[in-house]
Amino acid sequence: MTATAELQRWIRFTPAQRIARFAVFFAMAAAIAWALKTIQIIPEFLYDAPEQVVDMGKRMWPMDWSHFWPAVWPALVETMHIAAMATILGLIMGIPVGFLAARNATPFPWINAIARFILVATRSISTLIWALFFVAMFGPGALAGALAIAFHSIGFIGKMFSEGVEEANKGSIEALQAAGATRMQQIIMGYWPMVLPTFWSVALFRWDINVRESAVLGLVGAGGIGMVLNSAIDLIQWDRVSLVLFTIFIVVILIEAMVTQIRKRVI
């Protein structure tokens, strides 16, 4: 009687699953408790924060529109060029690495491992740090910015690509192999048409991200609208800061709307 009652008790997860879930929640709680306990916050700064924010808000309004055509617009155009070039360069560099990282297209585990390391490494070095490198190499300017974003994009593009390639249909590849296609031919005739939708969605998505990223490059001297933002902040011209922020906001919204529309129609 008790045995059947025991059997009928419905438990959603196996004990191992429950332990794993508990471990995750426990680790999260522990991490947050540790962070809250040890974080260093200077309370003196915190007291007048509301005043500071209100003061900043007041100085930001009204925006200095006379600054738009002489300074903000050219910088915005430069930002768009940086984002577009960085996306193209990132695709050129990221796609081969993506193919090398995909286990089915490149059946050599050690090459996969190296390619995967390249993907993680390029992604974990943030755009600003890449920009510092390239500013040191090529001098301040938009070129350094475009290269910085392109190198940072390799990781994302390559990762999405290798996932797309790994999901590719095996049948058509086997058909090509049976016909005696070389590895390069298999990639061009077999994998490439299958990952073409991935290509377009990754290219659009990354371009969208890159526009946002290129807005901050100016902080380290790598060109774009961030330069205008940075100089306005350094000169405490808050009405120009708000103008630049507003411009970035509008551009980002427009681009996102555009990408969504293209995606709906094409992909």
Give the SS3 label for residue 64: coil
Does residue 193 interact with another protein by CB under 8 A? yes
Exposed, middle or buried: residue 14 (CB in 10 Å: 0-12, 13-18, 19+)? Answer: exposed
d(Cα 87, Cα 154) in Å, to the nearest integer?
A: 9
Task: Tell me which residue of 257, 103, 223 sits closest to 168, measured CA to CA.
Answer: 103
Q: Site residues for another protein, window 26-85 (CB under 8 A)?
A: 31-32, 34-36, 38-42, 45-46, 49, 52-53, 56, 78, 81-82, 84-85
Question: 113, 129, 179, 235: which one contacts another protein (CB under 8 A)?
Answer: 129
Question: 253, 258, 266, 267: which one contacts another protein (CB under 8 A)?
Answer: 253
Query: Alpha carbon of 173 to those of 79, 111, 164, 187: distances in Å?
Result: 41, 20, 14, 9
d(Cα 15, Cα 246) in Å, to the nearest integer?
A: 53
Question: 141, 166, 203, 239: which one contacts another protein (CB under 8 A)?
Answer: 141
Does residue 220 interact with another protein by CB under 8 A? yes
Residue at 93: amino acid letter: M
Instruction: Using the minimum distance from each CB to another protein, give the nearer residue, 4 or 50.
Output: 50
d(Cα 153, Cα 156) in Å, to the nearest integer?
A: 5
Does residue 113 interact with another protein by CB under 8 A? no
Question: Could you list the residues that contact another protein (CB under 8 A)?
Answer: 17, 20-21, 24, 31-32, 34-36, 38-42, 45-46, 49, 52-53, 56, 78, 81-82, 84-85, 88, 120-121, 123-129, 132-134, 136-139, 141-143, 146, 189, 193, 212-213, 215-216, 219-220, 223, 229, 233, 245, 248-249, 252-253, 256
